[in-house]
A = this chain, B = another copy of it.
């Protein structure tokens, strides 16, 4: 299948115009990664929505289901301002999925922790994240190993 750069811009990401310094192969890979990113995003959002969660709420809940943590750390991991997390946790808390606990070691901090229901939701969410596994089903173990190693090296 020929890659026609001028008309196959399906996802909104990734410029892929010809450029002096980059070869077509690299551009094609970049374009493919853009497609993977767009697809991953879309399906993550859908999975979240199927549990009445927004993407951001799902990410926070997932994070907390691994380990309760202070607001501040959520913000660091999500790479946003702490004041933003306040609102997201508010919404999760008002739905009974998360609760704020005092940190015995430091009375300034509030630990966000999933409730029982929050944990269950996080589990169900994870299961509906099959999307991320399914596209891999077409690859053999050997191929998956190669893919893993290449991605690792890409990430440095």
Contacts and interface: CB of A to CB of B under 8 A. Distances in A.
B32 A155 contact: yes
A22 to B, nearest CB: 6
A77 B12 contact: yes
A136 B26 contact: yes
Number of copies: 2
A129 interface: yes
Given A17-B126, A154-B36, A144 B29 contact: yes
A146 interface: yes
A14 B145 contact: no
Interface string A121-156: 011011101001101101101011111101111111
Interface in A3-28: 6-7, 9-15, 17, 19, 22, 25-26, 28
B135 A143 contact: no
Interface magnitude class on chain A: 35 or more
A62 interface: yes
A46 to B, nearest CB: 11
B139 A12 contact: no
A78 interface: yes
A84 to B, nearest CB: 12
